[in-house]
């Protein structure tokens, strides 16, 4: 009986464990995003504070596992979705997101904004971007390869850890990068690289964790990763290898939903993302490059020589149509 | 047969079918555009299934094969300093978040791990590479050898002192003891252990990808994740889930049918001090070597996790109130999941016992254990998606999120609960069934006076393990909105995805310590709860 009473006590205490769902008097704007955006180290809390100061609204972030989870949640919910804005898709996923027919044009004149990248899409607003790159440990690897070509074909080159394109965004990024550089010879390139791939992980965290444990001198990450180590850890040990062919670019975007009951507020939020306020928050919280050139410029930890001179990128519709085929080519090449 | 006698098990089965079947059906009905024939004839899937079966078979054989001598060593040496702690340590690997365990394993056995560093310095042997099948097997043995030891140890506790004394009189050798006394008792524990470990290895995901070295190492579970997440084809994911379930069900059935439980002699004194071979010096040395070797194998990676945690920013992490809120939520989920799983397990076991004792259907035990274990073969991602669609269609409030996570965790904990409770409950029935009938003891009174004292310890063990397991589980938590209601493992994962690996190491240490605490507390309190 004591047990039952304890159970009842537990059940009664449950609602406390759950977020309050009280109705707000002001309009609410629901933004679906990926989890690290809203974590206490991410830009989410700062953006929420800044936006709510002026919008007379309640901004509510819903954090999902990653960009892939974001898109599948949208497809799962369809027209029932509670989201007004979806934030955090990247250019490898926008083609598929467009196909859902759930998105509405942003109607923002991007021409008047000093964008750091050429952009004219009518649905998606680019809030930041980055380049995939191989981060290396300068203590164990004094001279990294200078190009993707060298990484792939130098038999005595460094061993690397990469992510799986079937389960992770950077993994897919490398697949596209290789395709861009080697074209239809991509399979031969993968086969040549295979002996030096220590392992292929499910996601970025596993790969980077193994790299920090010293399991390989190089890991697939972002060109902005060293900036984190410099800024937060005052550590200059981890560097990024700049490749002469250029680096594959990932643009992170946001869009509003046609089912939203707050289209104006959603548009205001999208415009706010491109404001100097948000753009100055993003570099040191999301560790990506701001898509707008702000008066303040980049923080010191970010270095010009770590911004690739050449940008590589496929059209998002091409990625949508070819992704499955390219992944099976990758599977065949690495399974030999 | 009176139907009313079967309601506890009937209710449990109904619950399982409703949750598992219901959520799968929801997904299929919502997105029914996949073609079964096309899925079945996919050659990529064939190679994935072949690899999954192969690694699961090898992992299971290795884990259980190595666990048998280790468990025997623990059984033989029933009183030595620290035994209790070591046996408890055995419960730890299986409850750790996979990514934490993998980083711990790599710190010891990886390229740059302690062992390879020693080899490089001393030059005794060339450094070795764990990535590939060897890495998968190593990790699976790390997780499952200790679990198998824990699940098999009760086999020795069932052996009555009379048997040992008889063996003593007959002058049996150690191998004869194993054949005539220990093996018959093991036959009722081995099949269930094999099934659980096989299912765990079959559905293994992040371990296989991370340590497997490349896309050759792909399990069906990986394919399901890929289908659901990047290809977004829920119907196809459900079909893959059903294929996985069917394969696992068949193999689990074969494992259960393969070993028939042999009858064991009944007695009242359960003690091993009369064992003829537990004092001999050779056996004591042999046991010591086994116990030390297995402890090092499991303990070193755990020690690496502890050391990494102690090097991190401890104060900053543990003074953060968010950490304790997440801990609270995780504990709530763990308690709910464990209570639910224990109730379902109890229901299944009670009804199985009635069927065995009153209706002479000895196969009922096997069927109950089989049904209860198969929940491990159902991909949490697919169940989670189904449950999510339920919530969406019925406009349930968001607060149900934690309940849903607890529900999916309960499915995961059920096999352990059932495996620990059912054999003991049925045995207690064999002992006291006549007596209870003569005294007219039934229902609650019988449960309280006769059954509870017998099953108290197994229930406590299962609750402890289940509590710790769902406390440390990342599982489906990340599927739902995690911005406000994050659990401790989710928090750990987010720290890692924000470069905070040092803080993640401290969080991992906190998680491991609380898992031990949960396990210890539940084991203690329930194990001594008077009737």
Question: Does B215 contact A330 at a Cβ distance shorter than 8 Å?
Answer: yes
Question: Does B213 contact A232 at a Cβ distance shorter than 8 Å?
Answer: no
Report the residue of chain A nearest B320, measured CA to CA: A40
Dihedral angle over CA of A274, A277, A282, A288, nearest 10: 50
Dihedral angle over CA of A172, A173, A178, A183, nearest 10: 80
The alpha carbon of residue A46 is apart from the nearest alpha carbon of chain B, in Å, by 14
Task: For residue A104, report the phi and psi dihedrals to the nearest 5 degrees.
Answer: -120, 145
Q: Which residues of A touch B114 (CB under 8 A)?
A: none
Q: Which residues of A touch B222 (CB under 8 A)?
A: 166-167
Mean pLDDT of A300-316: 88
Q: Please report, rounded to a whole number, the percentage of residues in chain A having pLDDT higher than 70.
A: 93
Q: Which residues of A touch B501 (CB under 8 A)?
A: 208-209, 212
Do residues A92 and A179 both lie within one domain? no
Find the largest Cα–Cα distance for chain B: 73
Alpha helices by DSSP H, listed for A242-315, are: 263-273, 276-281, 283-286
Question: Does A166 contact B215 at a Cβ distance shorter than 8 Å?
Answer: yes
Residue A140 is predicted with a pLDDT of 95
- Name the DSSP class of A289: E
Placement of tokens 């790299």 in the chain: A211
Q: At what angle do helices A169-182 and A316-335 cross, to 10 degrees?
A: 90
In whole angstroms, give the CA distance from residue A172 to residue A300. Answer: 30
> What is the pTM for the complete model shown?
0.88
What distance lies between CA B14 and its chain's CA centroid? 23
Mean pLDDT of A5-33: 58
Residue B399 is predicted with a pLDDT of 62
In whole angstroms, give the CA distance from residue A233 to residue B492. Answer: 19
Q: Which residues of B touch A225 (CB under 8 A)?
A: 499
Task: Tell me, yes or no, whether A14 lies in a domain.
Answer: no
Question: Does B401 contact A18 at a Cβ distance shorter than 8 Å?
Answer: yes
Handedness of CA B281, B283, B286, B287 (dihedral sign): negative
Do residues A38 and A172 both lie within one domain? no
Identify each DSSP E strand in A35-84 by its residue range. 58-64
Task: Tell me, yes or no, whether A3 lies in a domain.
Answer: no
Task: Tell me, yes or no, whether A19 lies in a domain.
Answer: no
In whole angstroms, give the CA distance from residue B282 to residue B279. Answer: 9
ipTM of the complex: 0.87
* Contact of B107 with B304, CB cutoff 8 Å: yes
Tokens of B428: 């207690």
User: Structural domain tally of chain A?
Assistant: 2
In whole angstroms, give the CA distance from residue B195 to residue B27. Answer: 28
Residue B398: Cβ within 10 Å count: 16
Nearest to A71 among B106, B232, B329 (CB): B232
The alpha carbon of residue A264 is apart from the nearest alpha carbon of chain B, in Å, by 25
Residue B178: Cβ within 10 Å count: 15
Question: Does B103 contact A210 at a Cβ distance shorter than 8 Å?
Answer: yes
Tokens of A157: 């080159």
Residue B33 is predicted with a pLDDT of 67
Q: What is the CA radius of gyration of chain A?
A: 22
**Does pLDDT of A195 surpass 90?**
yes
Find the largest Cα–Cα distance for chain A: 73
Task: Tell me, yes or no, whether A180 lies in a domain.
Answer: yes
Report the residue of chain B nearest A211, measured CA to CA: B112
Task: Tell me, yes or no, whether A108 lies in a domain.
Answer: yes
Task: Tell me, yes or no, whether A16 lies in a domain.
Answer: no
> Which of B112, B117, B219, B230 should we substitute to test contact with A (largest number of A Cβ atoms within 10 Å)?
B230
Tokens of A29: 């704007």
Do residues A217 and A319 both lie within one domain? yes
Do residues A99 and A44 both lie within one domain? yes
Mean pLDDT of A11-36: 65
Nearest to B99 among A62, A65, A205 (CB): A205
Residue B34 is predicted with a pLDDT of 64
Question: Does A214 contact B111 at a Cβ distance shorter than 8 Å?
Answer: yes
Do residues A172 and A295 both lie within one domain? no
Cβ neighbors of A116 (< 8 A, separation 6 or more) are A129, A289, A290, A291, A292, A293
Cβ neighbors of B483 (< 8 A, separation 6 or more) are A35, A38, A44, A61, A62, A63
Question: Would you list the DSSP string of B130-174?
Answer: -TTHHHHHHHHHHHHHHHHHHHHHHHHHTS-HHHHHHHHHHT--H
* Contact of A239 with A228, CB cutoff 8 Å: no
* Contact of B56 with B138, CB cutoff 8 Å: no
Task: For residue B499, report the phi and psi dihedrals to the nearest 5 degrees.
Answer: 70, -5
Question: Does A199 contact B226 at a Cβ distance shorter than 8 Å?
Answer: no
SS3 B127: coil
Task: For residue A126, report the phi and psi dihedrals to the nearest 5 degrees.
Answer: -80, 120
In whole angstroms, give the CA distance from residue B167 to residue B275. Answer: 8
Residue B90 is predicted with a pLDDT of 85
* Contact of B98 with B475, CB cutoff 8 Å: no
Tokens of B178: 């194993």
In whole angstroms, give the CA distance from residue A72 to residue A89. Answer: 11
Do residues A259 and A183 both lie within one domain? no
Do residues A114 and A145 both lie within one domain? no
Question: Does A35 contact B494 at a Cβ distance shorter than 8 Å?
Answer: yes
Do residues A37 and A177 both lie within one domain? no
Do residues A213 and A315 both lie within one domain? yes
Q: Which residues of B touch A137 (CB under 8 A)?
A: none
* Contact of B110 with B130, CB cutoff 8 Å: yes
Structural domain span for residue A99: 25-129+250-306
Strands A218-222 and A160-163: parallel
Task: Tell me, yes or no, whether A57 lies in a domain.
Answer: yes
Do residues A270 and A122 both lie within one domain? yes
Residue B266 is predicted with a pLDDT of 56
Cβ-count burial of B427 within 10 angstroms (0-12 exposed, 13-18 middle, 19+ buried)? Answer: middle
CATH number for A326: 3.40.190.10
In whole angstroms, give the CA distance from residue B291 to residue A32. Answer: 51
Question: Does B214 contact A334 at a Cβ distance shorter than 8 Å?
Answer: yes
Do residues A323 and A203 both lie within one domain? yes
- CB contacts < 8 Å between A and B, how many? 166
- pLDDT 10s digit of each residue in chain B, 531 long? 566 667 888 888 888 888 888 888 888 887 776 667 777 778 888 999 999 999 999 999 999 999 999 999 998 888 888 888 888 888 888 888 888 899 999 999 999 999 999 998 888 777 788 999 999 999 999 999 999 998 888 888 878 888 888 888 888 888 888 888 889 888 878 888 899 999 999 998 888 988 988 888 889 988 888 888 777 888 888 889 999 999 999 999 888 887 766 666 555 555 666 677 777 788 889 999 999 999 999 999 999 999 999 998 988 888 888 888 888 888 888 889 999 999 999 888 888 888 887 787 777 777 888 888 888 888 888 888 888 888 777 766 666 777 888 888 898 889 888 888 887 788 777 777 778 888 887 778 788 887 888 788 888 888 888 888 888 776 676 666 666 657 888 888 888 888 889 999 999 999 889 888 888 888 778 767 675
Do residues A214 and A254 both lie within one domain? no
Nearest to B112 among A64, A68, A214 (CB): A214
In whole angstroms, give the CA distance from residue B391 to residue B111. Answer: 46
In whole angstroms, give the CA distance from residue B233 to residue B39. Answer: 12
In whole angstroms, give the CA distance from residue A259 to residue B68. Answer: 60
Residue A9 is predicted with a pLDDT of 42
The alpha carbon of residue B107 is apart from the nearest alpha carbon of chain A, in Å, by 7
Task: Tell me, yes or no, whether A10 lies in a domain.
Answer: no
> Which of B129, B135, B215, B530 should we substitute to test contact with A (largest number of A Cβ atoms within 10 Å)?
B215
């Amino acid at each position: 009986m004591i047990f039952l009473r304890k159970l009842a006590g537990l059940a009664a205490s449950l609602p406390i464990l759950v977020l309050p769902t009280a109705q707000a008097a002001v309009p609410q704007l629901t933004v679906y995003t990926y989890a690290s955006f809203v974590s206490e180290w991410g830009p989410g809390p700062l953006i929420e504070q800044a936006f709510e100061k002026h919008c007379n609204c309640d901004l509510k972030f819903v954090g999902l596992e990653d960009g892939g989870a974001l898109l599948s949640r949208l497809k799962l919910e369809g027209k029932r979705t509670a989201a007004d804005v979806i934030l955090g898709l990247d250019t490898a996923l926008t083609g598929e997101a467009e196909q859902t027919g759930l998105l509405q044009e942003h109607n923002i004149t991007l021409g008047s904004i000093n964008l750091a990248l050429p952009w004219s899409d009518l649905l998606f607003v680019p809030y930041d971007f980055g380049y995939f790159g191989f981060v290396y440990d300068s203590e164990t690897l004094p001279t990294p390869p200078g190009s993707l070509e060298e990484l792939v074909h130098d038999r005595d080159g460094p061993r690397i850890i990469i992510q799986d394109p079937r389960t992770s965004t950077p993994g897919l990024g490398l697949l596209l990068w290789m395709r861009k550089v080697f074209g239809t010879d991509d399979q031969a390139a993968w086969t040549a690289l295979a002996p030096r791939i220590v392992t292929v992980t499910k996601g970025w965290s596993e790969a980077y964790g193994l790299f920090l444990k010293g399991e390989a001198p190089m890991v697939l990450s972002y060109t902005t990763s060293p900036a984190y180590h410099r800024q937060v850890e005052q550590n200059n040990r981890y560097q990024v290898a700049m490749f002469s062919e250029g680096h594959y670019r990932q643009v992170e975007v946001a869009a509003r939903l046609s089912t939203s009951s707050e289209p104006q507020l959603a548009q205001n939020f999208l415009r706010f993302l491109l404001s100097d306020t948000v753009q100055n928050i993003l570099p040191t919280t999301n560790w990506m490059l701001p898509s707008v050139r702000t008066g303040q410029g980049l923080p010191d930890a970010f270095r010009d020589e770590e911004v690739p001179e050449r940008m590589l990128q496929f059209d998002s519709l091409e990625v949508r149509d070819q992704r499955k085929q390219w992944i099976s080519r990758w599977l065949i090449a690495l399974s030999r | 047969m009176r139907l009313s006698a079967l309601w506890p098990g009937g209710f449990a089965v109904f619950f399982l079918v409703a949750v598992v079947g219901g959520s799968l059906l929801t997904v299929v009905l919502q997105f029914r555009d996949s073609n079964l024939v096309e899925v079945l004839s996919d050659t990529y899937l064939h190679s994935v299934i072949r690899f999954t079966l192969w690694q699961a078979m090898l992992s299971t054989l290795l884990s259980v094969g190595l666990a048998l001598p280790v468990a025997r060593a623990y059984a033989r040496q029933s009183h030595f300093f620290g035994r209790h702690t070591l046996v408890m340590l055995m419960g730890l690997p299986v409850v750790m978040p996979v990514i934490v365990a993998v980083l711990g394993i790599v710190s010891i056995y990886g390229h740059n791990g302690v062992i390879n560093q020693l080899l490089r310095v001393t030059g005794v042997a060339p450094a070795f590479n764990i990535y590939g099948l060897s890495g998968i097997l190593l990790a699976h043995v790390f997780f499952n050898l200790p679990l198998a030891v824990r699940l098999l140890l009760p086999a020795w506790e069932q052996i009555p002192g009379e048997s040992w004394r008889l063996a003593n009189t007959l002058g049996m050798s150690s191998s004869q003891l194993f054949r005539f006394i220990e093996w018959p008792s093991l036959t009722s524990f081995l099949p269930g252990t094999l099934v659980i470990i096989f299912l765990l290895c079959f559905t293994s995901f992040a371990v296989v990808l991370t340590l497997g070295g490349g896309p050759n190492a792909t399990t069906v579970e990986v394919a399901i994740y890929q289908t659901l997440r990047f290809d977004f084809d829920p119907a196809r994911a459900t079909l893959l889930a059903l294929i996985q379930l069917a394969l696992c069900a068949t193999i689990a059935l074969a494992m259960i049918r393969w070993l028939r439980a042999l009858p064991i002699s009944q007695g009242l004194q359960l003690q091993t001090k009369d064992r003829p071979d537990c004092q001999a010096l050779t056996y004591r040395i042999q046991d010591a070597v086994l116990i030390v070797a297995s402890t090092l194998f499991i303990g070193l990676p755990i020690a690496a996790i502890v050391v990494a945690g102690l090097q991190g920013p401890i104060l900053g992490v543990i003074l953060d109130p968010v950490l304790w809120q997440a801990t609270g939520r995780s504990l709530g989920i763990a308690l709910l999941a464990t209570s639910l799983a224990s109730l379902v397990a109890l229901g299944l076991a009670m009804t199985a016992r009635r069927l065995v004792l009153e209706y002479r259907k000895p196969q009922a035990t096997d069927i109950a254990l089989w049904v209860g274990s198969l929940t491990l073969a159902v991909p949490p991602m697919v169940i989670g998606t189904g449950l999510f669609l339920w919530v969406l269609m019925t406009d349930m409030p968001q607060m149900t999120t934690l309940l849903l996570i607890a529900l999916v965790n309960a499915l995961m904990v059920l096999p352990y609960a059932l495996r620990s409770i059912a054999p003991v409950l049925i045995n207690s029935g064999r002992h006291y069934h006549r007596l209870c009938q003569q005294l007219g003891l039934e229902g609650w009174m019988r449960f309280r006076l006769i059954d509870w004292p017998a099953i108290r310890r197994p229930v406590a063990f299962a609750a402890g393990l289940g509590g710790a397991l769902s406390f440390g589980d990342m599982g489906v938590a990340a599927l739902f909105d995690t911005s406000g209601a994050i659990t401790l493992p989710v928090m750990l994962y987010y720290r890692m995805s924000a470069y905070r690996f040092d803080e993640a190491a401290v969080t991992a240490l906190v998680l491991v310590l609380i898992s031990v605490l949960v396990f210890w507390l539940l084991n203690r309190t329930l194990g001594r709860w008077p009737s």
